[in-house]
A and B are shown apart, each in its own frame.
Chain A
Amino acid sequence: MKTNFSIEFELILEDCLDRISKGESLESCLEKYPEQAAHLKELLILAGNIHQLPIPAARPSAVASGKQKMLAELQAVQQPQPVSSFNFSRYIKQTISFLLGKEDFQMKPILRPIIALLLVCVIGGTLAVNVSARSIPGDSMYSFKRTWENLRLAFTISEKTRTVLEEQLKLERHQEIQTLIENHQKAVLQYTGVLRAMKAHQWLVDDLWVKIEDRLIIEGHPKVGDLVEITIETEEDGMLILIKISVVESAVEIIPGEAEPGDEGWPEDPSVWVTPIPYWETYQPNEWRTLVPTEYQTLVPTDLMLTIVPTQYQTYIPEDLNTIPTLVQTLIPTWVPPVNATNWPTLIPPTWPTDAPLPQPTQLPPVIQTLVPPDIQTMIPPDWPDIDPEDYTTEIPEFIETMILPPNWP
């Protein structure tokens, strides 16, 4: 808060400054205001000193340069800025450059619309694929999902990759069917698999039992072992109704006893051999192997077991190839062979391979080693055979038997 004294002093100071600027002396000003003279004098001298400060001036070159700089800026501002016009070709080039991470990417202009179309298809397709990934039969996006799957299969050249992809798609179909059954949802879907069994009212495709009805449409002559494409309908009660079946690939017919693996005309693809085998055969070898007694198992080298049960034997063709096993479950061997059975398979008893070397102990038992005193050489009788101390570890047991121990032996 300013006091009256302060306001008065400001006026006095201003008056003195004004007087001095008009040529009056400092002393005459101070005489006029004797009460404030002391403080007034200090401020007036200070003001005089400030007034003595030089007025700096920029160099003429700097003044001219500053002016030019300002005018150049004015020109830059006034110049109309180029407005980016719609340039389809340039945008595509920028997009591809961005995707490739190459700023200097060059491309023929004629290719740009084609690339643009492809990009739209790829990006749009990717979005649609992602959206449709979780759709199930009956959903609007399901047809897109299946189309995409077929496209993937069509463009998968590697056989190995295609096999993996087909397995994935089979799992996907199973998942879809499971979802439909859980939701008690009625829907139609296609499935491709191997026809495993054909009963009067039910057929088995892979591991799906499908019900046969009068409306079934059959294309070709499906038989067990054929690769078939089926159209099934899920019912609200969880039943799968077979609507249509068509043979995609017929199984190779093998007449039992007339050919063996390796014969001329025998298919090289092992998967073809496996398909016609009834289920019970696949249970046999693995179940039996686990029944081998533990002690025998440890004695049998792993590779020996493999040679005893050759892999290709599992693919033996049964005599009645096309006979459908009606009681599949009962054919699974439930009998557990006794450990000491005399009629044990050729695995038991195992014999050590004749050409395999017998195990050779490399060290003496620790007990014997501890009985040998460290200074044994000094206690050896004069007629003791001259033995290299390095051989003690292997020769000691025989010596100990014939050795007369001295009375002070530990």
Chain B
Amino acid sequence: MTSNETILVQRAKNGDANALVEIYETNQPTIYTYVFYRVGDVHLAEDLTAEVFVRMIHKLKTYQPNSRPILAWLYTIAHNLVVDHYRENGKATWTELKEDQSAIESDVFKRSNENCLAQIDLVHALKTLTEEQRLVIVLKFIEGRKNIEIAEILNKSEGAIKSLQHRALNSLKRALENDEEYYEYENEFQH
């Protein structure tokens, strides 16, 4: 964590609205991307992302700035929210998304319409990954972050990040090779 971020977090902890707005504007897109690739629904992702920052207000007093970057901490909040959401609603939405033409034609996939089905398969396969593997994939290949940044967010070494991305790609490859196996896994995961 940089010293600037530490100061920013300290201001936010003291109730400085400007500091909170800065944290929001810096991290909201990343959190939204992460949530979207977890739930696959634009509106739900927006709601959950907003809820992440509402929850941040309540939990900020317990956050230790020196322990890890605030983005990593926000990822934890987002992960818990998504898990809570699935626990309360019982199922993920990607299966429906794959069969829902209107969702496929949504803004998110419009710009690469010709291979949107393959992309949805790929996004679907992302759900087979572990939390850390998925986070590495999103941060590295979707957001284009460098290993050193990811290592800082996840509080791991660069070597560990390299290893994680290798395992994540292998897992994705296996999931895409056998869709049936993948669906079985998904059902198991959901239960």
Q: Which residues of A contact B112 (CB under 8 A)?
A: 52-54
Q: Which residues of A contact B111 (CB under 8 A)?
A: 54
- In the complex, the answer to whether A46 meets B172 with C-beta atoms within 8 Å is yes
Q: CA–CA, A290 to B30, complex, Å?
A: 104
State which size class the interface on A falls in: 35 or more
Taking the nearest CB of chain A, how far is it from the CB of B47, in angstroms?
Answer: 8
Determine whether A56 belongs to the interface, using a CB cutoff of 8 Å to chain B: yes
The prevalent SS among residues of B at the interface is helix
Q: Given that A2-B163, A51-B142 are known contacts, is A70 also in contact with B118, CB under 8 Å in the complex?
A: no
- In the complex, the answer to whether A42 meets B20 with C-beta atoms within 8 Å is no
Determine whether A358 belongs to the interface, using a CB cutoff of 8 Å to chain B: no
One of A5-13, A98-106, A217-225, A372-380 at the interface: A5-13
Nearest B-chain residue to A62, judged by Cβ: B46
Determine whether A291 belongs to the interface, using a CB cutoff of 8 Å to chain B: no
Mark each residue of chain A from 78 to 90: 1 if its CB lies under 8 Å from any CB of chain B, else 0: 1000000000000
Q: Which residues of A contact B119 (CB under 8 A)?
A: 49, 52-54
Q: CA–CA, A59 to B108, complex, Å?
A: 11
- In the complex, the answer to whether B163 meets A66 with C-beta atoms within 8 Å is no
Taking the nearest CB of chain A, how far is it from the CB of B53, in angstroms?
Answer: 4
Pick from A50, A59, A74: contact of B46, CB below 8 A: A59
- In the complex, the answer to whether B170 meets A55 with C-beta atoms within 8 Å is no
- In the complex, the answer to whether A55 meets B118 with C-beta atoms within 8 Å is no
Determine whether A364 belongs to the interface, using a CB cutoff of 8 Å to chain B: no
- In the complex, the answer to whether A70 meets B20 with C-beta atoms within 8 Å is yes
Count of chain B residues with a beta carbon within 8 Å of a chain A beta carbon: 46
- In the complex, the answer to whether A62 meets B57 with C-beta atoms within 8 Å is no
Determine whether A332 belongs to the interface, using a CB cutoff of 8 Å to chain B: no
- In the complex, the answer to whether A56 meets B36 with C-beta atoms within 8 Å is yes
Q: Which residues of B contact A11 (CB under 8 A)?
A: 162
Q: CA–CA, A43 to B162, complex, Å?
A: 13
Pick from B21, B115, B143, B162: contact of A67, CB below 8 A: B21
| Given pairs A55-B29, A65-B46, A74-B15, 7 additional interface contacts (CB within 8 A) | A6-B166, A14-B162, A46-B176, A47-B169, A54-B108, A57-B29, A66-B50
Q: Which residues of A contact B25 (CB under 8 A)?
A: 67
Determine whether B8 belongs to the interface, using a CB cutoff of 8 Å to chain A: no
Q: Which residues of B contact A70 (CB under 8 A)?
A: 20, 24, 50, 53-54, 56-57
Taking the nearest CB of chain B, how far is it from the CB of A120, in angstroms?
Answer: 42
- In the complex, the answer to whether B50 meets A69 with C-beta atoms within 8 Å is yes
Determine whether B17 belongs to the interface, using a CB cutoff of 8 Å to chain A: yes
Q: Which of B98-133 contact A (CB under 8 A)?
A: 108-109, 111-112, 115, 118-119, 122-123
Q: Which residues of A contact B123 (CB under 8 A)?
A: 53
Q: CA–CA, A259 to B167, complex, Å?
A: 120
Q: Which residues of B contact A69 (CB under 8 A)?
A: 50, 53-54
- In the complex, the answer to whether B42 meets A56 with C-beta atoms within 8 Å is yes
Q: Which residues of A contact B56 (CB under 8 A)?
A: 70
Residues in chain A within 8 A of chain B (CB atoms)? 2, 6, 9-11, 13-14, 17, 21, 42-43, 46-47, 49-59, 62-63, 65-67, 69-71, 73-74, 77-78
- In the complex, the answer to whether B33 meets A55 with C-beta atoms within 8 Å is yes
Nearest B-chain residue to A21, judged by Cβ: B144
Q: Which residues of B contact A42 (CB under 8 A)?
A: 173
Pick from B32, B142, B169: contact of A46, CB below 8 A: B169
Taking the nearest CB of chain B, how far is it from the CB of A305, in angstroms?
Answer: 81
Q: Which residues of A contact B57 (CB under 8 A)?
A: 70, 73-74, 77
- In the complex, the answer to whether B163 meets A78 with C-beta atoms within 8 Å is no
Pick from B46, B108, B165: contact of A66, CB below 8 A: B46
Mark each residue of chain B from 145 to 167: 1 if its CB lies under 8 Å from any CB of chain A, else 0: 00100000000000000110110
Q: Given that A66-B53, A67-B21, A70-B54 are known contacts, is A43 also in contact with B109, CB under 8 Å in the complex?
A: no
Determine whether B78 belongs to the interface, using a CB cutoff of 8 Å to chain A: no
Q: Given that A52-B112, A55-B33 are known contacts, is A46 also in contact with B162, CB under 8 Å in the complex?
A: no
The 10 closest A-B pairs by CB, nearest first: A66-B50, A62-B46, A50-B141, A70-B53, A56-B36, A43-B169, A73-B57, A10-B166, A58-B32, A56-B108
- In the complex, the answer to whether A63 meets B28 with C-beta atoms within 8 Å is yes
Determine whether B137 belongs to the interface, using a CB cutoff of 8 Å to chain A: yes
A-B contact pairs, 20 of them (CB 8 A): A10-B163, A10-B166, A13-B162, A13-B169, A14-B162, A17-B165, A43-B169, A49-B122, A53-B112, A53-B142, A54-B109, A56-B37, A56-B45, A57-B29, A58-B46, A58-B49, A67-B53, A69-B50, A70-B50, A74-B57
